[in-house]
Structure 1
Amino acid sequence: MSNSGEPFDRTRAERGLLFIVSAPSGTGKTTLAERLVQGLSNLHMSRSYTSRPARAGEQDGVDYNFISRARFETMVRDGAFLEWADVFGNCYGTSTADTEAVLARGDDVVLVIDVQGARQVRSRGIETVDIFVLPPSAAILEQRLRGRSKDTEAQINKRLEVACREVNEFAQYEYVVINDELETAVARIGAIVLAERARVKVMRGAAEAIIETFKGRRNDGNARSTQR
């Protein structure tokens, strides 16, 4: 390591962190993650593969990687997914290769996945930072689901039924954030990201690089002290 005094990036680790954000449908987890990556450098939101058709305004390769169910099933058989799940009749999956490429260059990744997807990632023994997002109440979650105006009554009832089970998973996560107000919730998750980035195990390489710049200066300092 050079002692030349050249600046180096103290914000990046040798390997990135993998964040998981889970929440019941309608809680706002995707919006939270999108706002988070807009406000923090070196943080990327994973783009899922899905077998469902694109909705109005969605773009392939931007919102999701839209593929046929047959291709999705082939990718499952090939072990291409870090995690995948069948959610309300549509399949969603996270590419292992895409995620690893980002982590390997020292950037962080946010996976916006449901509780069953989070279980799959944990079962692989992968180190993650897990965040569960709760709505302020069941009534407000229902209000948000109805306000989206994109689901039938049967679909809304199904989402609420699943939510009643999913909220009980919160204790399996390291952090819990209540999405009562968007900006506040974004700030809370942002604080978690920054705190995790500052852990010694993450910053050891950068810290040791700084310590290297002090080597050879101790004797000079002692000499100056003696002269005084």
Structure 2
Amino acid sequence: MKYLNFFLIFLFPLSLSAENLKLPEVVVEYVCNTKFIIGANVLETRTFKSKNKKRIDTIIQNIPQSVIIDYEKQTATWVWPKTYSYLSVPLKKENQEALKKATNIIMLKKIKSDYLSGFEVDLYKLKVNLPDGTIEESTRWISKHGITLKEVGFIEGDEGKFHFYSEYSNVKVFEQNDDLFKVPDGFKIAPVDQLDDVNDLLRTMVKRS
């Protein structure tokens, strides 16, 4: 998949910063629908975010599945409701740190304040160096809670220039029930080869462990 590290940052958000340049951090728990488009690739999800955990529900090749990320325990768990199965893998902390260090903001400018979907937002122009050497330039609509409600821009590298668009909709800010981030009772551990049915993005997330 083109620009894989860009998708990884989308699913494993980092506190992007450089010397004197830092985006607002998320300070609330929330649930929302998400849509992310880059080139011909489209990812639509239902996302639940608590203080230290995130759950992403989506459908890939007509197969419902969830990814539960525990940032404190540094684990990612895939859950397949149709087969009552799951698989957990560790996320190496050194890989997370390497990704964070390799992602640098080289330009950040607040343009103005506005409203989007009922939220007060600040608009930022930014330019980011991604780990694979590509450049991202975009405009972000960031709520006062630190949630990026919308982002429009492009990334450019050896494979060309691709425009992207991401949007959070139906955003609800409230404390999330911890049961949302647990594997349901009765689910069994899936064989590793079940990951063959998962797209390149999710397979590579496993390889990061």
TMscore range, shorter length: under 0.3
Larger Cα-atom Rg: 1
TM-score normalised over the length of structure 1: 0.24
TM-score normalised over the length of structure 2: 0.25
Larger strand proportion of the pair = 2
Larger helix proportion of the pair = 1
